[in-house]
Amino acid sequence: MAKISRTRFRVRAAAMAMAAVVGWAPASVGQDGDGYTESDFLSRARRLTIEGKRAGEGYYRPDGRMIVFQSEREPDNPFYQIYTLDLETGDSRRISPGHGKTTCAFFQPGSSLIMYGSTQHDPESEALQAEELAFRESGQERRYAWDYDPEMEIYTFDQDTGAYDRLTNVRGYDAEGSYSPDGEWIVYTSMRDAYNRDLSADELKQLELDPSYFAEIYIMRADGSDQRRLTDVAGYDGGPFFSADGTKIVWRRFDEAGLIADIWLMNPDGSDQTQVTDFNSMSWAPYVHPSGDYIFFASNKLGFTNFEVYIVDAEGEKEPVQITHTDDFDGLPVPSPDGQTLSWTSNRAGGDGAQIFLARWDHAKALEALAAAPRRGAGSE
């Protein structure tokens, strides 16, 4: 898993080893018995990003004509920067400042702002870049690259004026944000609760081992005011997005050990937290289809490092339906605003890093497959 780094979620080598201990064996490929193939749902699949070592997390502008994504393509920076890509002209533009670590960008509906997580204020950021480049030069490879940098804060960039604005200002990783459809709220992930109080000895050990244990879902106004916590359960809560009608927030919740994750839904005020999947695997990166009928997510159900994209009905009454069928990583699924195209991140092109892919999405076929899926817990036929 050293090959790719994902930001809305990291697979940690330690977690993999522990998974093996708990007897969670990868199923062999092809055991998925629902009989569908990738081309049943996805057509004209194609690689979108080409430049640079890796790219991922492509999120659409509300008009569907542009995406914003993260990519490692600056020669002197081994960390992600944020770019927009015009889907009509192919023109791309870096919107983050070029230094530091960044992640998880999202267009604000109705404005020229783009929100993203960044360490750009950190005076250490260029030293950290040089250190990482030197480390790579030495030929070593990190077991995992994502360190939940406590300097990560949420910023906006104004595409018209070029101005940056910092919205969060407390120690602890603040990132993985997205706007409500009306553009007035940002839901995001914060690990601030690991830093704003005295931790017990056990908690300190936990922080050392894996700070994501402290991650919770937060919400704030688009100007950064009124920051409030929505979840309060030990283990990594992260990767939240609003549904297209703004009535629900979807996110993924890990167990305390950080091994099993499932998809959850809640109201924007944090009430009515409901578990949607019970898939006994790492199910994460959820995104609600614009119809509201079903939720995309990624899971390694078929093997620790073999992530595939799935869909599940919004009520979670049925077994999920597998969408991608390609070895290695397929995840971070994002439907276009019109629901007709799927953007996802995959390393199916080979090489070291993942890239963003696009395909036409067959919504009718998806509904049909969900209707035919067995009830959750009934087991597969």
Binding residues for another protein, per CB under 8 A?
A: 29-30, 44-52, 62-65, 85-92, 290-291, 327, 337-340, 349-351, 357-358
- Cα(285)–Cα(27) distance, rounded to whole angstroms? 21
- Compute the least distance from the CB of residue 136 to another protein, in Å: 18
348: left (phi over 0), alpha (psi -120 to 50) or beta: alpha
Q: Which is nearer to another protein, 87 or 217 (CB)?
A: 87
Q: Identify whether the C-beta of residue 344 lies closer than 8 Å to the C-beta of residue 360.
A: no
Q: Which is nearer to another protein, 227 or 300 (CB)?
A: 300
CB-based burial label for 37 (10 Å; 0-12, 13-18, 19+): exposed
Residues with Cβ within 8 Å of residue 171, at least 6 apart in sequence: 150, 192, 195, 196
Q: Which is nearer to another protein, 220 or 302 (CB)?
A: 302
Q: Which is nearer to another protein, 73 or 192 (CB)?
A: 73
Distance in Å from the first CA to the final CA of the chain: 31
Q: Which is nearer to another protein, 168 or 345 (CB)?
A: 345
- Compute the least distance from the CB of residue 112 to another protein, in Å: 18
Q: Which is nearer to another protein, 111 or 291 (CB)?
A: 291
The β-bridge partners of 287 are 296
- Compute the least distance from the CB of residue 177 to another protein, in Å: 22
CB-based burial label for 106 (10 Å; 0-12, 13-18, 19+): buried
Q: Which is nearer to another protein, 91 or 269 (CB)?
A: 91
- Compute the least distance from the CB of residue 37 to another protein, in Å: 10
- Compute the least distance from the CB of residue 110 to another protein, in Å: 11
φ, ψ for residue 334, nearest 5 deg: -140, 115
Q: Which is nearer to another protein, 315 or 338 (CB)?
A: 338
Contacts 24+ apart (CB under 8 A), 44-48: 44/359, 44/360, 45/357, 45/358, 45/359, 46/357, 46/358, 46/359, 47/349, 47/355, 47/356, 47/357, 48/85, 48/343, 48/355, 48/356, 48/357, 48/358
- Cα(357)–Cα(170) distance, rounded to whole angstroms? 35
- Compute the least distance from the CB of residue 332 to another protein, in Å: 18
- Compute the least distance from the CB of residue 349 to another protein, in Å: 7
- Compute the least distance from the CB of residue 176 to another protein, in Å: 25
- Cα(307)–Cα(346) distance, rounded to whole angstroms? 9
